Structure 1
């Protein structure tokens, strides 16, 4: 026991970073009578690779954890017994129990060789799915993004893989990506800014845990993705490949009736082998991409040509190198370096943005990792590893100008660029495995030091909003069209700001930018926009996989997390705004699960359990609070009036009122969101090499992020305004507001607002009312290779309700009492999701693989097209204007009412008695069903024994079904509910929505 406590102490001191994949082999060695064989030698050797050796303990048990998934030979030797070898194929995340019975040896001992495929997991209650090496190698992957294969896993319920994550839009803090056991997730801001990329030829396989991880896994309240890189072997192996797409083989967008320009080449290769056989191996890979495409823009500027196409060039480089060293039978060391670069020379935020909003986008990522695994004794194994991960993105405007909004049209550079963010993370982790009788303990800790730095300049060049629309104008009896007026305002186009006509005193239309913006609002940013968020993340855990009896295993775990620095407790503001004073130091997460092997033969198990899981908090909220707090930087705004019209060239020259600003710091009592996960299911091995899984899962997220307007107070004598009190308020007394720049504002009438210095105080909060509820039935069927055929089916029936879409979600009623009304079907709510795959080797080197995906159509946000009531400023306006009644098309407006025609179901519009306003329901628009078939026809030529050449053609959306990813959600628009075109090949546009396209490929492998 002294050895145990000594190694445990070292384990807890060598704290480190991120997730362990928990891939390994355990088992029990016994004689033919069932008696345990102690001190038997167990060698676990990867086919063509490293070997690990241990001894059985007094109970005959052994454990070799932290292995690379793949094919292994387990050899068990004991004096007086016949040696037994067992071939095992392991997938990522599996820890199969390879129990061995040794016959008594005779005068001529024979070696018995069996072949066992790991089928049913009898040791873990985790709900997960694996993407096998054959899946990665043989199935068609649109865009060669490995994450496209995530839909093969039950529980992944999206129609499109966006932002390199297997979740939909509501994914902040709800997932992690781990490569070779350590975290590589970009966590500065929303995943839309990208995640690390890996070539499918650089990874061997990956696992997606959709529910109920053990205690060694943390910092995700939803799912975890474990990716494994390829390794070298005793035989030299490699590949050279090229994948080619061109718009000549693409179908037209069904709405735009145009083919997206595209010329895409993806190319690269791999090379691996031994430096010293059975001791030292290497592996390297490279993949590049050059894509020439076009941005199809439908600018809303009057007179602009529709469907303008702007050239776009995207270049991507992905690389990975790895070296493995087998120092002894007890020690294995490996190091890895990987990274990618991405450049897009011209990006538009959306298909209807004005060309002046184009920007240059880059992403850069690289990681270095080292791992040392040592078998200390037959009972103890220790694994220590560390890494350094760098992720950076830049969004730089192509022009420098003000951003000006005329009605629904915005012209000029993006208001929140330039944008440079850098994430540097040092990770250190230690896992200790201790085998004692029926207990298999996992103890350890980890430490991450994250430095989030960069530059985030917002409204630096000025932003004008609420300017009058550009419309036709009559001057001296001559009518000028809106297009002619726009041409006068921008004589040299919107992308040449020096020619913009602000004053325009001599033009024929007598219209100028200043005249249209005279009553608008102007915002100017100034001050310090540099980002610096240092974070220290700690975690400790203890996990016991306790085999109560031969057929029953309990998974018992407790994890503790703490993110020091994420709430920026040192920020003290002089303007009266309250910010967090402490971090969330109470993140204890108990977890319990069970696995019951019904017959004891490893063919049918019942599994289930429950646990708490804390989210990983993105730095974005803290970054905004550090910069946009009214002290570090200013976001001053002023609104023009009849007596002092706005002049965009000198907006603050003669203001009639002091400039005000909007701020968005963290709320004073924020906590880390967490989820309760519950699951129960069955896994069954069927005839013909098939495995069936069925699980019910429930996930309830608490204290999710949301933004609220803190400067609104409640007037109890006027219940029409059901607002959140930010201080004690008694009718007839003076409103008490924080000191400093925040004082009562009598100009707001019935709204008693602490906002003299601020237009809005949009603080980030984590109230208990904000969260989500997910329930699902997840079914999976996988058929292993037999008669040349493999296949899989993944089906999910689910429901998702939530009250917050993301940390930047702003409720329709921007106060705590309004969050209750936000509960509705979430944007990621999709009831039915089905993916079917098959791969069949025909004859003569021909093979056919296909992937069919069906999605019942997910929810989309809905809004109204009317002016918002005073005090409302939500992301999606769902409140009709004051004294406005929605009616169906053709209906008669009630006498004395002001009506507006709506085109959604009338049942989705209702009167909110608390405010007296009509509202429309959130996310009430469901998209059309999605059907997609992707196929690959491949011919393989083998020669020279170990060489082969592959030629193939892949068809994506083979039957050219019209699938859509965006819809018009404005209920007051006659085109409400109609899909919108997807005509850009730019990154960020999910490939799943595109019309049919073909890809040709050639590979040479050895």
Structure 2
């Protein structure tokens, strides 16, 4: 990390330890509030309320204020014993279970008697919510660890919640540029875009470089044994939650307890237990091998009983999976210049003495109906011979089927430590690391494709109780996410690493596109290389204060957001042919040369998010709670540290003349990001078995660099490819004559008007989302409840992107706007 950043973060951390100053954060622990009353319903002031964690014996305590109200914030999820003591009343002990981030209303009615006498009450976890209007659900630790999960991906359990659906399968990991949208879990929560969600682990945002869900190359989140539990907030969450306008997936890792415990495991999948898939059966291929081993272990316990606890987890994955590929390749006759028409009838053969162009021949005199260029014949090595039948009716192409091994190793580590200094001070810290690679043959079995995805981060949180009515928690975190792809670590076909096939010196075979054939995606370095690195530095602070019947939480956030992208894209160039005949005759339609790699730079995009909030949960009556909140969240205008920004000021700007904007936005659209939120929870029958809840709020979607960086990096003047059109398709004297591919191409940089340029609407509007809900909950039995809810959302000024390569500057639509 940058030393200046470290100094600034440590300074903010020290400030939060000294005073309960508001700097935002969402406390990942649970909160319990309530009122202590006597048998007549009168409030009891000065009652002692103590919550003891059964697993760790850690005790958090407070006293009720003059209104009989108490609050215990930031309690770790788990089983607790609540003891309520007041002079002249029997001590009451309740056994309850708390979940991650929950707001639990627990009112206690005392019984007159000696305080030495104890009444033990066992109360089940509530099935209705009487303290908050937020629509949410909790996936408990037992569900995370015991439900069967394909791939042991704990985040996939979020789809068990109403309003949450997975959209992970939009693209395969092997699609060109697919990792630009992130490879982790893609969830739509409440109908919102996956990039509008926030994923938190121990209160730290762990979104990936595309602002989507974290995950490995397989789209999974390992570490099932390390997750205590997680919640999914789907609608109208309170103002302490920011950096999001969709949903919130809020997880907390397991901590050690007073008892040493651990586990060791291995899960196995094997093709011996599988049936052959459709494509294997259809192409007569043997069943592909599939081996997946997931193994690991966890352990936790006390370092100092009742004081210091530690927990650690490791999980590894080793997978080798046969993937069936079917490619269209030239038929043997086509390779010999014998082409059929569309109905499968042979075209008339050329005379045996036909004079082919220089460098071309008739491979089978008397049968060949087109010449075959000698250089193109060498490129046949990149198209394996068909083995799964010809493709009719023309029979000019055939199917080449093969099973390639998809190899994925992954290693995931995490650890957590908890320290109790005193009844007023506790500290916890956590760290995680995850790295995975994905390697498999390309679509024609010429090179190995590879993606490398990794992430790591840590958090440190200190909670201090200043008085029974005032507590503060400050947290510092770091999250890093990177993805490198599409890499080509090795050649399967030796010709793919032979520079004699390259367009220019030190390059390898370019991509080739021919109608009817599976595209040959080039030799080494021929893939669409994009390397992302996201680093976020996060500081949060939450203060909680009781004022009468008001439970007030206030705080703030500082997030430094750094996103880097190195994107040379296709380094070897691309050649396109209009037909199979043109390909055989080496008549290129157009050729795009390699980029000037010396001019391709890493783009360093920076921004900062600063936010503050206040949230008042006001218990107006014993049966009615109002949730009143206001959040302000501003983002600085994203910048590129080296000035690598050149956007067209209007969509009709002539790129030959310019000038170009050296900035993304001319004004800050987040200056007025005030987000009011209101809700209520009402117990109409005063028996704690029915809840009517509702609320509405405003949530902002920030214009983060992930929306800007890819278009900026792949357009002029930072990424320019020399191009040339075949002479048969242009009147331009600078053209590619027949037979010039790949070594004699007159490649030149195109004029500015023929290059690809980026336009960003500089008058971007505030992008915000309304959320609203109304629900009725009814407890049916001690552990069963029924909920009927309506939720809705509406997005205003959502960003969009349009690619229009056919539009020139002269006829561009002046009304088009969008990032």
Change in CA separation of 1:744 and 1:245 when aligned onto 2, cut-off 3 Å: closer
CA distance in 1, matches of 2:29, 2:162: 21
Q: Give the equivalent residue in structure 2 for 1:814.
A: none
Match of 2:201 in 1: 179
SS at match of 2:802: strand
Query: How far, CA to CA, are the matches of 2:704 and 2:448 in structure 1?
Result: 27
Conserved 8 A contact 1:275-1:281 = yes
Q: In the superposition, relative to structure 1, how do residues 136 and 91 fare at CA in structure 2: closer, same or farther (>3 Å)?
A: same
Match of 1:575 among 625, 643, 658: 658
For residues 301 and 712 of structure 1, do their structure 2 counterparts lie closer, same or farther at Cα, with a shift above 3 Å needed?
closer
Cα distance between partner residues in 2 of 1:22 and 1:275: 22
Partner of 2:184: 163
Structure 1 position 117, deviation (Å): 2.1
- Tell me the alpha carbon deviations over residues 697-746 of structure 1, each in whole angstroms, 9 at most, x when there is no partner: 11212222222368999xxxxxxxxxxxxxxxxxxxxxxxxxxxxx965x
Corresponding residue number in structure 1 for 2:818: 765
Give the aligned partner of residue 220 of structure 1.
244
Equivalent of 1:24, from 31, 37, 43? 31
Counterpart secondary structure, 2:762: coil
2:235 aligns with 211
Aligned counterparts of 1:143 and 1:441: Cα–Cα separation in 2: 42
In structure 2, how many angstroms separate the alpha carbons of the residues matched to 1:39 and 1:308? 76
The match for 1:296 is 324
RMSD over equivalenced CA pairs, Å: 3.1
| Equivalent position of 1:406 in the other structure | 514
User: Is the CA contact 2:736–2:745 (under 8 Å) kept in the aligned structure 1?
Assistant: no
Measure the CA separation in 1 of the matches of 2:115 and 2:621. 37
Question: Which of 57, 61, 76 is the equivalent residue of 1:68?
Answer: 76
Is 1:148 the counterpart of 2:259? The answer is no
- Structure 1 contact 568–622 (Cα < 8 Å) conserved: no
Q: Who is 2:272 aligned against?
A: 248
Alignment equivalent of 1:631, drawn from 714, 717, 727: 717
Matching residue of 1:825: none
Distance between the aligned counterparts of 2:673 and 2:745, measured in 1? 48
CA–CA distance in 1 between the matches of 2:481 and 2:119?
52
- Change in CA separation of 1:269 and 1:80 when aligned onto 2, cut-off 3 Å: same
Q: Deviation digits for residues 465-492 of structure 1, max 9, x if unmatched?
A: 4x22436x9xxxxxxxxxxx8xxxxxxx
| Partner SS for 1:708 | coil
CA contact (8 A) 2:722 2:747 kept: no
- 2:762 is aligned, of 668, 672, 681, to 668
Alignment pair present for 1:649 and 2:760:
no
CA drift of 1:13 comes to 5.0
Structure-to-structure mapping, 1:369-518, within 5 angstroms = 369-395=459-485, 396-398=487-489, 400-407=508-515, 409-413=518-522, 417-465=528-576, 467-470=577-580, 511=584, 515-517=586-588
Q: 1:313 aligns with which of 403, 407, 420?
A: 407
1:149 aligns to what SS in structure 2? Answer: helix
- 1:52 alignment partner in structure 2: 60
Gaps spanning 5+ residues in structure 1: where?
A: 1-6, 474-484, 486-510, 714-742, 746-751, 755-760, 767-1006
> Shift in Å at residue 763 of structure 1?
9.2
- With 171-180 and 667-676 compared, the bigger mean Cα shift is at 667-676
For residues 471-514 of structure 1, give each alpha carbon's deviation from its aligned partner in whole angstroms, at most 9, with x where no partner exists: 6x9xxxxxxxxxxx8xxxxxxxxxxxxxxxxxxxxxxxxx25xx
Shift of 1:8: 10
Structural mapping, 1:448-847, within 5 Å: 448-465=559-576, 467-470=577-580, 511=584, 515-517=586-588, 519-522=589-592, 524-526=594-596, 527-566=599-638, 571=645, 575-578=658-661, 579-584=664-669, 585-642=671-728, 644-645=735-736, 647-649=740-742, 653=746, 658=751, 660-671=754-765, 673-687=767-781, 689-708=783-802, 745=810, 752-753=811-812, 765=818
Structure 1 residues 171-211: Cα deviation after superposition (integer angstroms, max 9, x where no partner): 35321110011211113466698578341111021111111
Question: Counterparts of 2:214 and 2:510 in 1: how far apart (Å)?
Answer: 25
- Structure 2: distance between partners of 1:641 and 1:170: 49
Q: Distance in 2 between matches of 1:310 and 1:142?
A: 22
Distance 1:342 1:86, change over 3 A: same
In structure 2, relative to structure 1, the CA distance for the partners of 1:668 and 1:567 (3 Å cut) is farther
Structure 2: segments with no counterpart, 5+ residues:
1-14, 170-182, 332-385, 388-399, 492-507, 648-656
Instruction: State the 1:678 CA deviation.
Output: 1.4
SS at match of 2:156: helix
Query: 1 CA distance for matches of 2:74 and 2:579?
Result: 63
- Cα deviation, 1:746-777, whole Å, max 9, x if unaligned, reads xxxxxx359xxxxxx999815xxxxxxxxxxx
Structure 1 residue 521, shift from structure 2 partner: 4.5
Q: Which residue of 1 aligns with 2:458?
A: 368
SS in 1 for 2:103: coil
Shift of 1:652: 6.4
The answer (yes or no) to whether the contact 1:189–1:619 under 8 Å persists in 2 is no
Q: Does 1:201 align with 2:201?
A: no
- TM superposition shift of 1:152: 1.5
Q: CA deviation at 1:686?
A: 0.8
Question: Contact conserved, 2:139 with 2:229, CA < 8 A, in 1?
Answer: yes
* Displacement of 1:693: 1.6
Separation of aligned partners in 2, 1:625 and 1:218: 27
Shift of 1:366: 1.1
| Structure 1: distance between partners of 2:771 and 2:725 | 49
User: 1:295 offset after TM fit, Å?
Assistant: 2.4
Q: Does the 8 Å CA contact 1:626/1:665 hold for their aligned counterparts?
A: no
Separation in structure 1 between the aligned mates of residue 736 and residue 311 of structure 2, nearest angstrom: 67
Deviation for aligned residue 1:282 = 0.7
SS across alignment from 1:57:
coil
SS at match of 2:43: coil
Secondary structure of the corresponding residue to residue 592 of structure 1: strand
> 2:550–2:616: 8 Å Cα contact kept in structure 1?
yes
> Quick one: distance in 2 between partners of 1:364 and 1:20?
26
For residue 75 of structure 2, give the secondary structure of its aligned residue in structure 1: coil
State whether structure 2 residue 307 is matched by structure 1 residue 279: yes
Range that drifts further, 174-183 or 98-107: 98-107
CA 1:656–1:532 in structure 2 vs 1: closer, same or farther (change >3 Å)?
A: closer
Match of 2:362 in 1: none
Distance change (3 Å), C-alpha of 1:762 and 1:198? farther
Tell me which residue corresponds to 1:35: 42
Would you say the 8 A contact 1:440–1:546 is kept in 2? yes
CA contact (8 A) 1:375 1:382 kept: yes
Deviation at 1:356, TM superposition (A): 3.9
Distance in 1 between residues matched to 2:593 and 2:710, nearest whole Å: 17
Cα gap change, 1:657/1:424 in structure 2, threshold over 3 Å: closer, same or farther?
A: closer
Partner residue, 1:850: none
Aligned residues: 673
Specify the alignment match of 1:896 in structure 2.
none
Q: Which moves more between the two structures, 363-372 or 78-87? A: 78-87
Separation in structure 1 between the aligned mates of residue 710 and residue 136 of structure 2, nearest angstrom: 35
Contact 2:605/2:640, CA 8 A, preserved across alignment: yes
Q: How does 1:864-875 map to 2 (within 5 A)?
A: none
Counterpart secondary structure, 1:265? strand
Q: Secondary structure at the match of 1:411?
A: coil
